Amino acid sequence: MEHHTAARAERMLEAVMARITDQIYVIGADGRFRWASPSAVALFGVEEWDGREVGAFVHPDDLPAIRHDLHELLQGRLTGPLDRVFRVWSDPLQTWRWIEASCSDHRDDPALDGLLVCSRDVTDRVVQADALREQALHDALTGLPNRSLLLDRIANAALRAVRGGTDLAVLFFDLDHFKQVNDTLGHAAGDRLLLAVTERVRARLRAQDTFGRLGGDEFVIVLEGLERPSDAAVASVCDDLVSALSKPLQVDGHQLRITSSVGVVVSSGTDAAEELLRAADVAMYAAKAGGRGRWELHTDALSAAARTRFEVHERMLEALDTGGFDLHYQPIVDLKHGHPLGVEAFVRLRTTDGTILSPDQFLPVAEDHGLIGRIGSEVLTMATRDCVHLSGMVAVNVSPTQLADPDFERMVVRALSASGLDPHRLVLDVTESAVLETPTPETTRNLNRLRARGVRFALDDFGSGYSSLDRVRHLPVSFIKIDRTFVDGLTTVGSGDLAVVRAVVGMAASLGIPVVAEGVEDELQRDVLLRVGVQLAQGHLFARAAPLAELLRSPALTTGVPVTTRR
């Protein structure tokens, strides 16, 4: 009976061992196999296991670690199960397979007298994990390293630079006006353009260079191993990159001519990866500000300017919520009789420490961050409210962005309704470029609809562009303002500015449009302007722009008499 029971148990064990997919091995104290389960035979294609050396199947790159671990386990320096994932050669499959193995010491068991190893094939899991890791570290469109991997590459390049006494350079670039490609040809064409750019740039780099994509049209190149001084080498790469990207690219049957703005920072390896990436980004925006299609080397001054822009942006957001914008007003006077005919509003930004910033210090930042519309609405609301009880015109500057906004007309009407200001008193100063060089259909509609409501327009900074009489003739403008640069040069012999002013005045007179001279600083300029027929003026000769309460106490607003003490 006992014999039959033992035989049945043995048959059952054999059946189980034949069906389990995990591999089981026994390894002797000499590091050689004693026995292996049928599943191991199926994986490795080996029938006879007794006496085979463990390293016979292990990948050469993994073998040193496996031998070390086995030695430590056999020497008793490791306790408990030893778990490892490594590669082994499968002869039936003719490929390396990943296995997860757990090894424990059972030399105290006479039946085993060795190490018991249980393993399973985890190749699919490892491959899937590698694919996920690849996706996590690479850009889905181009396959280039993404931000995470780029930062790691920059950090490692910095370490090598320190050890090797070399420089590294981080280049940050994007494609100028890339959005126009997406808007015109579609995002699929934009993606194909990015792929074409990727191939063109990759072909020009060395094997040791890293090329990655941060997202959108932003790319990064990491140059390492640059011999010092590296200035010439870096300049050569940047010149080549800008030149290469300026050449036409064929996308969906279209020959696209793009340019690229490149920012570059050079380091000896002592800077953090994030700092280098940020510095290169700052330099790229400086390249854009300098005209695009060029490269710019990072300097401390650029970073300081970037910090200032960031602080200004934060302050503008706060000011929009808490009322941190102020308006200063400057009188517009009848140049012949000296009577004030109205005021022009100039926006100022009040910082947390009480400093007052002029428009040229914050409006470019507002343009970059899409805040012009909100600020313009705030200014118009304040100006119409402040000046409702004054007499004469109220001039407010309007940006091309505002003028092209479909909601601009409604915003103006809301401000007029809330304040009660007569629409005829409101004069919106628009730039020559906005209405003559690049007007949009919405710009034209806003001009005509507001003019029909009684709002007047002034063509601001006239003379700085290339407007012709015929083009101005068709605009709904009530005033032409001469750019202050021409007023500045009126009394300078040989400047030619007097001839320009005469021409503008003559043109305006033929159209029946009064001319306003901006930036009148002294009585000599005033006299010259009177002689050539300019009717209206504003400038420091009459009064500087000031808060309304202060201006109301000034004789300039009530009499138009020049306030020379305010110059």
Please check whether residue 510 is in contact with residue 545, taking contact to mean a CB–CB distance below 8 angstroms: no
> Whose CA is closest to 38, among 56, 58, 16, 5?
16
Please check whether residue 528 is in contact with residue 491, taking contact to mean a CB–CB distance below 8 angstroms: yes
Task: Quote the pTM value.
Answer: 0.67
- pLDDT of 318-348, one tens digit each? 999 998 999 999 999 999 888 899 999 999 9
Whose tokens are 């026995």? That residue is: 35
- In a 3-state reduction of DSSP, which class is residue 534? coil
What tokens does 533 get?
């027929």
What tokens does 104 get?
């424990």
Residues 319 and 215 in one domain: no
What tokens does 412 get?
């103006």
Measured distance CA(91)–CA(113) in Å, rounded? 29
Choosing from 129, 161, 182, the residue where a domain stops is: 129
The residues, any chain, with a CB within 8 Å of residue 268's CB and separated by 6 or more, are 161, 162, 167, 228
Question: What is the overall mean pLDDT for the chain?
Answer: 90
In a domain, 472, yes or no: yes
In a domain, 542, yes or no: yes
Measured distance CA(391)–CA(246) in Å, rounded? 55
Residues 390 and 539 in one domain: yes
- pLDDT of 524-533, one tens digit each? 999 999 999 9
In a domain, 527, yes or no: yes
What's the domain range around 264? 138-298
- In a 3-state reduction of DSSP, which class is residue 391? coil
Residues 98 and 146 in one domain: no
Please check whether residue 249 is in contact with residue 141, taking contact to mean a CB–CB distance below 8 angstroms: no
Choosing from 298, 322, 357, the residue where a domain stops is: 298
In angstroms, the Cα distances linking 138 to 124, 182, 211, 224, 387 are 21, 23, 11, 20, 58
- pLDDT of 83-133, one tens digit each? 999 999 999 999 999 999 999 999 888 888 899 999 999 999 999 988 888
Measured distance CA(114)–CA(503) in Å, rounded? 106
The letter for the amino acid at 532 is: V
pLDDT at 353: 84
Residues 356 and 494 in one domain: yes
Number of independent structural domains in the chain: 3
Residues 330 and 285 in one domain: no
In a domain, 28, yes or no: yes
> Hey, which bits of 243-383 come out as E strands?
249-251, 254-256, 260-267, 295-297, 325-334, 340-350, 356-357
> Hey, which bits of 425-533 come out as E strands?
426-431, 456-462, 479-482, 515-517
**Domain with 215 in it: what CATH number?**
3.30.70.270
Residues 228 and 363 in one domain: no
